[in-house]
């Protein structure tokens, strides 16, 4: 357990910087512009963050797992990462104007969009590669520094009276491009870069496609409601809702770090007993943090974001109700994916996505951001419940096979 806590602490530090920088950027943008422009900025930066996993067929997950389990392949992993970043960035550049048009929002020039899309896609690959090599602090810096720089740039521009969507997006895209160049220069001499063999690439794509179901579904479950708000409601609703999402997802920082260690340990064959201890501790701590956030939501929103975002407090309390299910689902899927069962893990997230999306479509037109918040909380908890129930059933069946008895005779109460 001490080794687990040490590694989790390093992962938390690595990811904590990114989360803190993202939160600072959220505050900076909210202080600078009204909810409608903030909502447009959220949608604009959301496309590459979400789309990078879709258009690259989940390859970042395959890169991380292979870097952890097969170190001699790391130079080829960097090669496939570079190719994936270029191809994925090009596709996302073409997709961004479509998304913004559907949300009735303006889009910056394609040059800026391309710069940000290619750079962020590469940084995602490099980040997951570094985590696979257990360079937790390096991995965190790859994502933290560009976001932190963008936040400071927005604060400076706001102080000088320069505000607007393009004004805020330009430093975001430019600093991500600078980070991409710096990370490439750092990783190349340490691991080398070779063209992957056909068999290697196909194997990674095969795993990536299966694993991408989890990663993409997780991201879509967390982010699709913001896209739907932009399409079915207004960018102002997205602006308010995104504040609540930023606050509630702060609860997941420790969970994300634990999930990363769970993924890596599962790839190395960790026992079920050790995983259960991590699971119980993480769920209990997350629920306690959710309760505290719900109590402090109103003064927190007013102090950090100002009066025009006051409506985000009620949305934060609703989203906090979904914490138990979301934490359980995330840990269970990381356990299965790290153990080489990404297909089974994706089923739990699919349940949450299906429920959340259906409720979004039903509730957003009439209730806006409030409907999206309730849809997410219900979907998260149902997905977590399905994950726990299915895992208990699977464990019961395995015990029955070992004892030679029917499953129902082993655990009549399902415990």
Q: Are residues 328 and 413 in the same domain?
A: yes
For residues 129 and 262, membership in a common domain is answered with: no
How much is the pTM? 0.79
Q: Has residue 218 been placed in a domain?
A: yes
CA atoms within 13 A on the CB side of 246: 29
Pull the structure tokens for residue 220: 């879509």
Same structural domain for residues 220 and 186? Answer: no
Instruction: Give the pLDDT of residue 68.
Output: 87
Residue 302 burial (CB count, 10 A): 14
Q: Is 201 domain-assigned?
A: no
How high is the pLDDT of residue 415? Answer: 27
Give domain status of residue 86, yes or no: yes
Note the pLDDT of residue 260.
67
282 and 163 part of one domain: no
Residues 320 and 349 in one domain: yes
> Is 202 part of any domain?
no
- Evaluate whether residue 204 is within a structural domain: no
- pLDDT at position 86, please? 95
How far apart are alpha carbons 174 and 171 in whole angstroms? 5
How far apart are the C-alpha atoms of 251 and 292, rounded to whole Å? 10
52 is written with which tokens? 């990078």
Residues 167, 216 share a domain = no
Give which of 328, 83, 346 is closest to 209, Cα–Cα. Answer: 346
- Asked whether residue 291 falls in the same domain as residue 403, the answer is yes
Of the three residues 132, 164, 196, the one that is the final residue of a domain is 196
pLDDT at residue 38, as a whole number: 95
- Please tell me the distance from the alpha carbon of residue 355 to that of residue 302, in angstroms, as a whole number: 32
User: Of 196, 224, 259, which one is at a domain's C-terminal end?
Assistant: 196
Domain assignment present for 1? yes
Cβ density class 253-274: b for 16+ within 10 Å, e for less: bbbbbbbbbbbbbbbeebeeee
Residue finishing a domain among 146, 162, 196:
196
- Note whether 17 and 40 are same-domain residues: yes
Crossing angle of helices 74-102 and 35-55, rounded to 10° = 140
Instruction: List, as one string, the DSSP characters of 186-253.
Output: HHHHHH---PPPHHHHHHHHHHHHHHHHHHHHHHHHHHHHHHHHHHHS-HHHHHHHHHHHHHHHTTHH
**Residue-range definition of the domain harbouring residue 124:** 1-196
Tally of structural domains, the chain: 2
Q: Are residues 402 and 329 in the same domain?
A: yes
Q: Are residue 157 and residue 261 in the same domain, yes or no?
A: no
The pLDDT, as a whole number, for residue 388 is: 84
In this structure, are 184 and 289 located in the same domain? no
Q: Are residues 276 and 311 in the same domain?
A: yes
The answer as to whether 71 is a domain residue is yes
- 160 lies in some domain: yes
Counted residue by residue, the chain has a size of 415
Each of the 415 residues of the chain gets a pLDDT tens digit; together they read 566 556 556 555 656 677 789 889 999 999 999 999 999 999 999 999 888 888 887 888 889 889 988 899 999 999 999 999 999 999 999 999 999 999 989 889 999 999 999 999 999 999 999 988 988 888 889 999 999 999 999 999 999 999 999 999 999 999 999 999 999 999 999 999 999 888 888 888 887 777 666 667 777 777 888 989 999 999 999 999 999 999 988 777 666 667 667 776 776 777 777 788 888 888 888 899 999 999 999 999 999 999 999 999 999 999 999 999 988 888 887 787 777 676 666 777 888 889 999 999 999 999 999 999 999 999 999 988 888 887 776 656 555 555 654 444 333 233 2
């Amino acid at each position: 357990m001490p080794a687990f806590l040490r590694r989790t602490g390093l992962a938390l530090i690595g990811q904590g910087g990114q989360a803190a920088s993202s939160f600072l950027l959220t505050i900076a943008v909210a202080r600078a512009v009204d909810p409608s422009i903030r909502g447009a900025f959220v949608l604009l930066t959301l496309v590459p963050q979400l789309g990078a996993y879709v258009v690259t067929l989940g390859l970042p997950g395959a890169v991380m797992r292979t870097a952890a389990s097969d170190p001699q392949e790391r130079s080829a992993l960097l090669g496939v990462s570079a190719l994936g970043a270029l191809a994925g960035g090009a596709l996302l550049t073409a997709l961004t104007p479509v998304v913004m048009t559907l949300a009735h929002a303006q889009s910056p020039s394609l040059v800026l969009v391309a710069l940000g899309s290619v750079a962020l896609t590469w940084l995602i690959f490099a980040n997951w590669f570094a985590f696979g090599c257990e360079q937790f602090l390096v991995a965190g810096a790859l994502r933290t520094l560009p976001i932190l720089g963008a936040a400071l740039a927005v604060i400076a521009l706001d102080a000088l009276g320069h505000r607007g969507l393009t004004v805020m997006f330009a430093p975001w895209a430019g600093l991500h491009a600078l980070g991409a160049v710096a990370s490439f220069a750092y990783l190349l001499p340490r691991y080398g870069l070779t063209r992957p063999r056909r068999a290697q690439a196909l194997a990674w794509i095969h795993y990536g496609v299966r694993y991408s179901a989890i990663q993409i579904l997780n991201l879509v479950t967390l982010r699709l409601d913001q896209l739907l708000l932009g399409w079915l409601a207004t960018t102002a609703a997205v602006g308010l809702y995104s504040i609540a999402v930023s606050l509630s997802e702060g609860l997941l920082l420790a969970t994300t770090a634990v999930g990363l260690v769970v993924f890596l340990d599962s790839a190395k064959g960790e026992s079920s007993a050790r995983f259960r201890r991590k699971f119980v501790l993480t769920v209990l701590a997350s629920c306690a943090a959710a309760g505290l956030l719900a109590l402090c939501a109103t003064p927190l929103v007013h102090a950090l974001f100002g009066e025009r975002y006051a409506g985000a407090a009620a949305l934060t309390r609703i989203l906090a109700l979904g914490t138990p299910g979301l934490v359980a689902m995330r840990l269970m899927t990381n356990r299965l994916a790290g153990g080489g069962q990404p297909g089974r893990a994706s089923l739990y997230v699919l349940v949450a996505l299906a429920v959340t999306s259906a409720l979004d479509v039903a509730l957003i037109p009439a209730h806006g951001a409030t409907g999206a918040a309730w849809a997410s909380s219900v979907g998260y908890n149902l997905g977590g419940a399905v994950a726990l129930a299915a895992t208990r059933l699977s464990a019961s069946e395995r015990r029955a096979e070992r004892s030679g008895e029917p499953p129902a005779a082993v655990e009549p109460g399902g415990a």
